[in-house]
């Protein structure tokens, strides 16, 4: 019994143990499940958190990307705008230039129209004012002849005038018409005989009786112009005088009389006439530029010339827009130390087309020629000849040095009024393409050499000459007269000190060596040394000139 109870107890204990075990297991299971659940939940949470931050990151990225894009877009837009502005500016500039050009063109057109108008005013539309009472009955015949002349049917016109003149030998209109026909024919045939016939016929108009004023002025102007053209300046002056006495209020005629005095070098008479014009019309630009020109070139008074040239040029009056006046106004400023005003005048002149450029201010030019201040031997194409000169430099020096003796030599002072100060002399062997025989006889070997150089010897727009400069010389900035030549200097006696500026570059000579420049460009020389400097100057034709141009250009 006891055993049984014991067993029962054991069994019960066993059972309860088992139960406890089961309970533990169950609890354990539960705990584990709980844990599992918690873990899962934590994991889920973490995952969610990850996802959330990922999402946030992405959103951030997206935002950043968007911002970047916006920035880029803005940058692009800015660039685009900039580009657009540039384009617009460019366009504006172009438009402005176009407008300016247009304005210039219009101005020119206006000027042309003005000139045309003036011309037509001179040529009365109704011929009444040139028809006197004797010509009046013949007016239809005269008109017909004039029409033929207008249509350039010259021989028919001549026949018509002649036929009128056979019956009415003193008809002023017929004489005038006939003179015009002969003048046209003279021009076409380049005939002096015809020109002289034209002049003689026109003179008869002026000698005639009862010639209407308008016809008298027309005929007189034409006559004086043709007389000058023929080289009969004295006769031209007489004609202008006749006109000015007959029509004393016509200042244009007086101005022309002044010009004709100027042409023959009667500067004082010319000045007097221009002064008379200014007494009547104190703002007459034409008279002003001419008085200024005379004071500058003849009286050599730069400061007195300036106001006349300045006001004359600024008046814009007909005949004042001329390179010579700009040339001398600039030079007058330069010589009175008003350099920046000089440059302004030169720039203006270049802009107006009166100069090739602000530095190249020659007035007898061929427009197409290459212009550069300094040349190399290769650029000239004359290497062979330049070499001859360099190879013989000592011979050239020795013959030249012998001519330095002031008693026996042939050097003469520079006389173009180019010096501010100092002693500068020249000895000329060739000028205007002609040998100076008397001088060549003194340096025969040198002239033999030059004779071998066709483009120097035959350069009718240049010279070959020795040039001797003593210490202390300053040559004002100046330009040669033409762009048709280039100038070689062969150094013969070269101490330290002297130097030459051409445009913006200054160089020095070397004994036995050649330097080459285009003397139509502004150049200036200083000699600050202690001994004399001697060079041989040899002008060559500009290498781009044609043979025909070299033969036909007027000598300078």
Tell me: does residue 532 bind ligand LMR (CB under 6 A): no
C-beta of 111 vs 508, nearer to ligand LMR: 508
> Of 27-35, 91-99, 211-219, 519-527, which segment contacts ligand LMR by CB under 6 A?
519-527
Q: Measured from the CB of residue 523, what is the shortest distance to ligand LMR in angstroms?
A: 6
Q: Which of 205, 257, 443, 475 binds ligand LMR (CB under 6 A)?
A: 475
- Per-residue CA distances from 353 to 313, 350, 360, 471, 542 (Å): 15, 5, 11, 38, 21
Q: Measured from the CB of residue 373, what is the shortest distance to ligand LMR in angstroms?
A: 12
The continuous run of DSSP H or E covering 509 comes out as none
Tell me: does residue 484 bind ligand LMR (CB under 6 A): no
Tell me: does residue 518 bind ligand LMR (CB under 6 A): no
Task: With CA atoms as reference, report the closest residue to 134 among 165, 162, 179.
Answer: 165
What's the burial of 423, exposed, middle or buried (CB within 10 Å: 0-12/13-18/19+)? middle
The length of the chain, given as a count of residues: 556
Task: With CA atoms as reference, report the closest residue to 422 among 519, 497, 339.
Answer: 497
> Of 56-64, 277-285, 518-526, 547-555, which segment contacts ligand LMR by CB under 6 A?
518-526
C-beta of 201 vs 360, nearer to ligand LMR: 360
> Of 31-39, 176-184, 317-325, 517-525, which segment contacts ligand LMR by CB under 6 A?
517-525
Tell me: does residue 525 bind ligand LMR (CB under 6 A): yes
Tell me: does residue 429 bind ligand LMR (CB under 6 A): no
What's the burial of 170, exposed, middle or buried (CB within 10 Å: 0-12/13-18/19+)? middle
Q: Measured between alpha carbons, how far is 525 from 98 in angstroms, rounded to an integer? A: 42
DSSP H helix total and E strand total for the chain: 20, 13
C-beta of 467 vs 520, nearer to ligand LMR: 467
Q: Measured from the CB of residue 489, what is the shortest distance to ligand LMR in angstroms?
A: 6
Q: Measured between alpha carbons, how far is 411 from 419 in angstroms, rounded to an integer? A: 16
C-beta of 206 vs 514, nearer to ligand LMR: 514
Q: Which of 500, 503, 514, 538 binds ligand LMR (CB under 6 A)?
A: 500
C-beta of 182 vs 525, nearer to ligand LMR: 525
Tell me: does residue 523 bind ligand LMR (CB under 6 A): yes
C-beta of 206 vs 456, nearer to ligand LMR: 456
Positive or negative: CA dihedral 490, 495, 496, 498 = negative
Q: How many residues bind ligand LMR (CB under 6 A)?
A: 8
Q: Measured between alpha carbons, how far is 100 from 97 in angstroms, rounded to an integer? A: 5
C-beta of 172 vs 498, nearer to ligand LMR: 498
Q: Which residue is nearest to ligand LMR (CB)?
A: 467
Tell me: does residue 545 bind ligand LMR (CB under 6 A): no
What are residue 299's phi and psi, to 5 degrees? -85, -15
> Of 296-304, 320-328, 398-406, 467-475, which segment contacts ligand LMR by CB under 6 A?
467-475
Q: Which of 135, 331, 519, 539 binds ligand LMR (CB under 6 A)?
A: 519
Positive or negative: CA dihedral 494, 495, 496, 499 = negative
Residue environment code for 290-304, b if the CB has 16+ CB neighbours within 10 A, otherwise e: bbbbbbbbeeeebee
Q: Measured from the CB of residue 483, what is the shortest distance to ligand LMR in angstroms?
A: 15
Q: Measured between alpha carbons, how far is 217 from 206 in angstroms, rounded to an integer? A: 9
C-beta of 208 vs 480, nearer to ligand LMR: 480
Task: With CA atoms as reference, report the closest residue to 274 among 266, 284, 264.
Answer: 284
- Contact between residue 473 and residue 500 where contact means Cβ atoms under 8 Å apart: no
3-state helix, strand, coil in the chain (%, to 5): 60, 10, 25
Tell me: does residue 396 bind ligand LMR (CB under 6 A): no
**10 Å Cβ neighbour count for 27?**
11
Tell me: does residue 469 bind ligand LMR (CB under 6 A): yes
Q: Measured from the CB of residue 531, what is the shortest distance to ligand LMR in angstroms?
A: 15
C-beta of 198 vs 467, nearer to ligand LMR: 467
- Per-residue CA distances from 96 to 103, 107, 111, 223 (Å): 10, 16, 22, 47
Q: Measured between alpha carbons, how far is 351 from 481 in angstroms, rounded to an integer? A: 19
Q: Measured from the CB of residue 486, what is the shortest distance to ligand LMR in angstroms?
A: 12
Tell me: does residue 425 bind ligand LMR (CB under 6 A): no
Q: Measured from the CB of residue 195, what is the shortest distance to ligand LMR in angstroms?
A: 39
- Contact between residue 523 and residue 505 where contact means Cβ atoms under 8 Å apart: no
Q: Measured from the CB of residue 147, what is the shortest distance to ligand LMR in angstroms?
A: 56
C-beta of 349 vs 480, nearer to ligand LMR: 480
Tell me: does residue 479 bind ligand LMR (CB under 6 A): no
Q: Which of 198, 228, 467, 483 binds ligand LMR (CB under 6 A)?
A: 467
- Contact between residue 498 and residue 452 where contact means Cβ atoms under 8 Å apart: no
Residues binding ligand LMR (CB under 6 A): 467, 469, 475, 500, 519, 523, 525, 535
């Amino acid at each position: 019994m006891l055993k049984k109870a014991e067993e029962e107890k054991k069994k019960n204990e066993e059972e309860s143990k088992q139960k406890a075990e089961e309970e533990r297991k169950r609890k354990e299971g539960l705990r584990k499940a709980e844990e599992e659940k918690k873990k899962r939940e934590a994991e889920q949470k973490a995952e969610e958190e990850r996802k959330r931050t990922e999402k946030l990151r992405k959103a951030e990225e997206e935002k950043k990307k968007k911002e970047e894009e916006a920035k880029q877009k803005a940058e692009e837009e800015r660039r685009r705008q900039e580009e657009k502005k540039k384009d617009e500016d460019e366009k504006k500039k172009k438009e402005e230039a176009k407008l300016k050009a247009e304005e210039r063109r219009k101005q020119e057109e206006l000027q042309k129209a003005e000139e045309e108008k003036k011309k037509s005013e001179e040529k009365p539309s109704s011929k009444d004012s040139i028809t006197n009472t004797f010509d009046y009955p013949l007016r239809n015949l005269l008109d017909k002849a004039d029409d033929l002349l207008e249509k350039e049917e010259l021989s028919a016109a001549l026949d018509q005038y002649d036929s009128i003149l056979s019956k009415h030998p003193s008809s002023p209109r017929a004489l005038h018409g006939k003179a015009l026909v002969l003048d046209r024919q003279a021009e076409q045939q380049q005939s002096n005989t015809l020109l002289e016939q034209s002049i003689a016929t026109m003179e008869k108009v002026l000698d005639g009786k009862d010639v209407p004023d308008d016809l008298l002025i027309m005929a007189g102007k034409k006559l004086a112009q043709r007389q000058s053209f023929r080289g009969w300046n004295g006769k031209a002056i007489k004609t202008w005088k006749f006109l000015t006495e007959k029509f004393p209020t016509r200042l244009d005629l007086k101005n022309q009389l002044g010009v004709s005095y100027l042409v023959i070098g009667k500067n004082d008479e010319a000045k007097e006439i221009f002064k008379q014009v200014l007494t009547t019309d104190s703002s007459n630009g034409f008279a002003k530029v001419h008085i200024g020109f005379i004071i500058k070139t003849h009286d050599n008074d730069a400061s007195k010339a300036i106001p006349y040239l300045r006001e004359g040029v600024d008046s814009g009056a007909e005949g004042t827009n001329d390179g010579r006046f700009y040339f001398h106004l600039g030079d007058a400023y330069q010589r009175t130390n008003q350099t920046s005003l000089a440059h302004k005048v030169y720039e203006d002149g270049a802009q107006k087309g009166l100069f090739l450029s602000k530095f190249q201010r020659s007035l007898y030019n061929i427009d197409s020629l290459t212009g550069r201040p300094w040349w190399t031997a290769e650029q000239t194409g004359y290497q062979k000849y330049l070499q001859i000169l360099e190879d013989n430099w000592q011979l050239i020096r020795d013959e030249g040095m012998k001519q330095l003796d002031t008693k026996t030599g042939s050097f003469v002072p520079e006389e173009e009024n180019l010096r501010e100060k100092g002693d500068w002399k020249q000895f000329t062997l060739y000028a205007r393409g002609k040998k100076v025989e008397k001088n060549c006889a003194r340096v025969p070997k040198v002239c033999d050499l030059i004779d071998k150089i066709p483009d120097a010897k035959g350069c009718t727009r240049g010279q070959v000459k020795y040039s001797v400069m003593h210490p202390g010389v300053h040559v004002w900035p100046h330009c040669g007269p033409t762009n048709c030549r280039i100038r070689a200097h062969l150094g013969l006696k070269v101490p330290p000190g002297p130097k030459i500026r051409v445009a913006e570059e200054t160089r020095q000579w070397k004994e036995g060596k050649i330097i080459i420049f285009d003397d139509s460009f502004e150049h200036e020389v200083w000699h600050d040394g202690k001994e004399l400097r001697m060079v041989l100057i040899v002008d060559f034709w500009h290498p781009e000139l044609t043979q025909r141009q070299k033969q036909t250009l007027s000598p300078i």
